[in-house]
Amino acid sequence: ALNDRYKAAGKSTVVSISSSSGGGRLSEEDHTDYKSIDDHIINEPSQNSNSPSSKFLPTREWINLAFWSTLAWPLRMGDTFRSTGMYDSYWTPLAAYGVSRVAALAIGAIPGCIGGIPSLTTSLGLGLFYASRREQFERNVELLLAATKNNEHDHTPGFEETFLENEIEDKVRERNSEWGYRLRTVLGYAYFTCFMVLWDAEILDSTLTKKVEEK
């Protein structure tokens, strides 16, 4: 499960981040960030580069993630987001979805309500709720990626940890401040939830896989 893998990887994150070289500054040469993982998933979805015969076939890991993201997306989202510290409870996304369905019934009971409005309205609200934690998700993924590279160094922990975290936080905040990016995130969680859940799970899986490979 991604939750167990993230916990195992996270044990070394604090130490490795604090041992960053070069004053804790991130550079394109020595740091793979969230955006690069994101772009890789878009450009080369579900391909197994280690097996030429299955270049165009999805891997077993991707099939597993896609299965749960399609048939039980609230549970898949709960595992991904709780693993990275977004929610305290595994059941939060499912509970939010349940509340949205009850709200849709309540709106639909209003006399004269146009068909489709209840679901569209509550889905948008649900998208806003899920998207509110996406920035924190990206920040935690960036920290884990930074820890992957910094594991190669063995320096005495100092103020570099604070500088590195601040730089990552500024980068993530700047990316999420773009209205187009934020709109895509909200609408994605609202009306294309299964795809967004699979996307998040792939990003975390790719991050953890990269961390294991570089150790």
> Which tens digit of pLDDT belongs to each residue from 26-74?
444 444 556 666 666 555 555 544 455 455 677 888 888 899 999 999 9
Please tell me the pTM assigned to this model: 0.72
Residue 207 CA to residue 153 CA, distance in Å, equals: 19
Residue 53 CA to residue 195 CA, distance in Å, equals: 26
pLDDT tens, 147-175?
A: 765 555 544 455 456 667 778 788 888 88
- Residue 117 DSSP class: H
Residue 63 CA to residue 59 CA, distance in Å, equals: 6
CB atoms within 10 A of CB 88: 7
With H, G, I as helix, E, B as strand and everything else as coil, classify residue 39. helix
Q: Give which of 213, 209, 181 is closest to 60, Cα–Cα.
A: 209
What is the per-residue burial (b if ≥16 Cβ within 10 Å, else e) of 106-115?
A: eebeeeeeee
